[in-house]
Amino acid sequence: MDINFNKNEDHNKLLVSELKRRLAKVSLGGGASRIEKHKSKGKMTARERVDYLLDPKAKSIEIGAFAGEDMYKEHGGCPSGGVVVKIGYVKGKQCIVVANDATVKAGAWFPITGKKNLRAQELAIENKLPIIYLVDSAGVYLPLQDDIFPDKEHFGRIFRNNAVMSSMGITQIAAVMGSCVAGGAYLPIMSDEALIVDKTGSIFLAGSYLVKAAIGETIDNETLGGATTHCEVSGVTDYKAKDDADALDTIKNIIDKIGDYDKAGFNRKDSKKPKENPQDIYGILPKSRADQYDMFEIIKRLVDNSEYDEYKAGYGQTIITCYARIDGWAVGIVANQRKLVKTTGSKTKPTEMQFGGVIYNDSADKATRFIANCNQKKIPLVFLQDVTGFMVGSKSEHSGIIKDGAKMVNAVSNSVVPKFTVIIGNSYGAGNYAMCGKAYDPRLIFAWPSAELAVMSGNSAAKVLLQIEKASLEKQGEKITKEKEDELYNKIKERYDNQVSPYYAAARLWTDAIIDPLDTRTWISMGIEAANHAPIEKPFNLGVIQV
């Protein structure tokens, strides 16, 4: 091992350590005192409920753990968006579980809460997975109601999705384990089956205080909308549970009797571990995002037996395209090659050096063809992003880089096989789009702690913005000294660097998670297993492209 490997390893292990520290912090929800108060009512916390429900020792992945991080500070924050979302197994069946965290503002819905719930439903719809709601929420967070209530992708969309999923035959089960009030009362009742916990669960469109104010009726909340009322009088709920554990056990028994699902038919064989040590990833991935490395060395540590079949190996080498297996599943990998590449010259095309992480005409053309092949063969696609963008300059423009880039974006957009995106390093500009960024409907998109997402790097953006700022100040007659220029540059770069952080992206759900690189195989495997629940219903068609 060389000195650079050791430096890289130390750096990346520190990033993973920081990731685990931050995950531990958000897992506390509203904090120790609120957890203690919550449990004094005889209730499990949201995470305890999810863990109890999911099969012990089975793998699971958490969606949006960092949602809301460093947002809503003036409102006391909203750790994990006030809701826990996991994909795991209940009685051996893969399910999505959504649990309100009542230790965070009584489970109230912030704007990011709505976005996260919609993401969970999107995953259920795309993959036709059963979804389980563990409800314990005070409803919309009123100080921010204008950002959560009225728009298309706001609170009401959740109930619309309940209805759509029901028509699609996607199982929805809801357990009311705490407050369930106003508009939020529709969610459990629009599910296929609803449970309510005696004495702690309640459902009503308006609580006792509002009823008194609106119509003058005096009534307590338990009589108004408790478990006995809704199981024996109104018939709104289907099962009455004596406590949280009883409700969760009932859900397990319901899930256990669901019939098998139609499969998409993705190819899978027995899983084999990589021959190359996955731990080496920490030493291969450079500390500096500007440094180059060989992406093949990363791929060898992600795929079964460290084996792959490369497509068009000698052409368009700044993008790697290859077939492989991950945990037994057949995949097509599209990855940015991050090392300097020397092209093979000819009489009409001289030898040249191509920069790693940049998409050239030939690499975009190759990727387009490969994506089409994977769609024809029904092979899920895995994108490994470490991209600085498309090549610029007169040579590229005259060669039609926009046209070739558009073809690649077209292929990614119209792909009908499931896509999975791993942001390893840089994810800049149109490169993010072409390599299946969030806007291009990857089934799962997740980042390593080394990731950066932005229009361009902090350094490049700061230089561009500095030129604009300088020109503006000079027009106003201000003289810009070297010291003033450095001060402006550092101020701009600091602000921009914060925005390119993977945590900034994860807080806004531009990615589903930040993960330890060693968990990548699990995420992709569970993602393909989920996608296998949903047969492909339309043919692949590129539409109109300029050849």
CATH fold of 31-256 reads 2-enoyl-CoA Hydratase; Chain A, domain 1 (3.90.226)
Q: Tokens standing for 179?
A: 């407050």
Residue 459 has pLDDT above 80, yes or no: no
With residue 135 as reference, give the H or E element that holds it.
Answer: strand 131-137
pLDDT at 494: 81
Residue 312 has pLDDT above 80, yes or no: yes
Going from the C-alpha of 174 to that of each of 41, 189, 247, the distances in angstroms are: 20, 8, 10
Q: Beta partners for 329?
A: 268, 326
Count CB-CB contacts under 10 A for residue 92.
Answer: 9
Task: Give 542's DSSP letter.
Answer: -
Residues making up the chain, counted from first to last: 547
pLDDT at 153: 87
pLDDT classification of 264: cutoffs 50, 70, 90: very high
pLDDT at 346: 62
**Strand-strand pairing, 329-336 and 381-387:** parallel
Alpha helices in 419-545 (DSSP H): 429-434, 458-475, 482-500, 502-507, 520-531
Residue 100 has pLDDT above 90, yes or no: yes
Q: Which residue has the tokens 């993602």?
A: 527
**Residue partners of 327: CB distance under 8 A and separation at least 6:** 271, 304, 521, 522, 524, 525
* Amino acid present at 3: I
pLDDT classification of 149: cutoffs 50, 70, 90: confident
Q: What are the DSSP calls for 165-197, one per residue?
A: HHHHT--EEEEEEEEEEGGGGHHHHTSSEEEEE
pLDDT at 220: 85
- Does residue 26 contact residue 47 with C-beta atoms inside 8 Å? no
Per-residue pLDDT tens for 152-176? 888 889 999 999 999 999 999 999 9
Residue 242 has pLDDT above 60, yes or no: yes
Per-residue pLDDT tens for 33-56? 999 999 999 999 999 999 999 999
- Does residue 81 contact residue 110 with C-beta atoms inside 8 Å? yes
pLDDT at 467: 81
pLDDT at 545: 66
Read off the pLDDT of each residue in 294-322 and give the average, rounded to a whole number: 97
Residue 345 has pLDDT above 80, yes or no: no
pLDDT classification of 471: cutoffs 50, 70, 90: confident
Say which residue, 308 or 145, is predicted with more confidence.
308
Per-residue pLDDT tens for 473-496? 778 877 778 887 788 788 878 887
Query: What is the sign of the dihedral through the CA atoms of 304, 306, 309 and 315?
Result: positive
For the ranges 190-194, 320-324, 336-340, 466-470, the lowest mean pLDDT is seen at: 466-470
Rounded Cα gap, residues 36 and 307, in angstroms: 51
Q: Please write down the HEC assignment for all residues of 76-108.
A: CCCHHHHEEEEEEEECCEEEEEEEECCCCHHHC
Domain residue spans in the chain? 31-256, 278-451+511-533, 457-500
- Does residue 379 contact residue 265 with C-beta atoms inside 8 Å? no
Angle subtended at Cα 417 by Cα 415 and Cα 420, rounded to the nearest 5 degrees: 95
Rounded Cα gap, residues 34 and 21, in angstroms: 20
pLDDT at 348: 60
Per-residue pLDDT tens for 517-542? 999 999 999 999 999 999 999 899 88
Rounded Cα gap, residues 409 and 383, in angstroms: 13
Say which residue, 352 or 132, is predicted with more confidence.
132
Biggest CA–CA distance in the chain, Å, is: 92
In the chain, the percentage of residues whose pLDDT exceeds 70 is: 97
Q: Which residue has the tokens 């290859």?
A: 322
Angle subtended at Cα 162 by Cα 157 and Cα 164, rounded to the nearest 5 degrees: 90
pLDDT classification of 390: cutoffs 50, 70, 90: confident
31-256 and 278-451+511-533, same CATH topology: yes
Residue 277 has pLDDT above 90, yes or no: yes
Query: What is the sign of the dihedral through the CA atoms of 390, 395, 401 and 404?
Result: negative
**Residue partners of 378: CB distance under 8 A and separation at least 6:** 264, 265, 266, 267, 417, 536
Q: Which residue has the tokens 């929420």?
A: 137
pLDDT at 10: 97
pLDDT classification of 224: cutoffs 50, 70, 90: confident
pLDDT classification of 208: cutoffs 50, 70, 90: confident
**What average pLDDT does the chain have?**
92
Read off the pLDDT of each residue in 105-121 and give the average, rounded to a whole number: 95
Q: Tokens standing for 424?
A: 């390893």
Residue 547 has pLDDT above 60, yes or no: no
pTM reported for the whole predicted model: 0.93
Rounded Cα gap, residues 422 and 445, in angstroms: 6
pLDDT at 482: 82
CATH fold of 278-451+511-533 reads 2-enoyl-CoA Hydratase; Chain A, domain 1 (3.90.226)
Task: Give 373's DSSP letter.
Answer: H
Q: What are the DSSP calls for 3-55, one per residue?
A: HHHHHHHHHHHHHHHHHHHHHHHHTTTT-HHHHHHHHTTT---HHHHHHHHSP
For the ranges 181-190, 264-273, 331-340, the lowest mean pLDDT is seen at: 181-190
Burial of residue 353 (number of CB atoms within 10 Å: 0-12, 13-18, 19+): exposed
pLDDT at 513: 98
Residue 17 has pLDDT above 90, yes or no: yes
Say which residue, 210 or 125, is predicted with more confidence.
125
From its phi and psi, is residue 255 left (phi > 0), alpha (psi between -120 and 50) or beta?
alpha
Q: Which residue has the tokens 């047969």?
A: 535
Residue 349 has pLDDT above 70, yes or no: no
Helix (H, G, I), strand (E, B) or coil at 452: strand
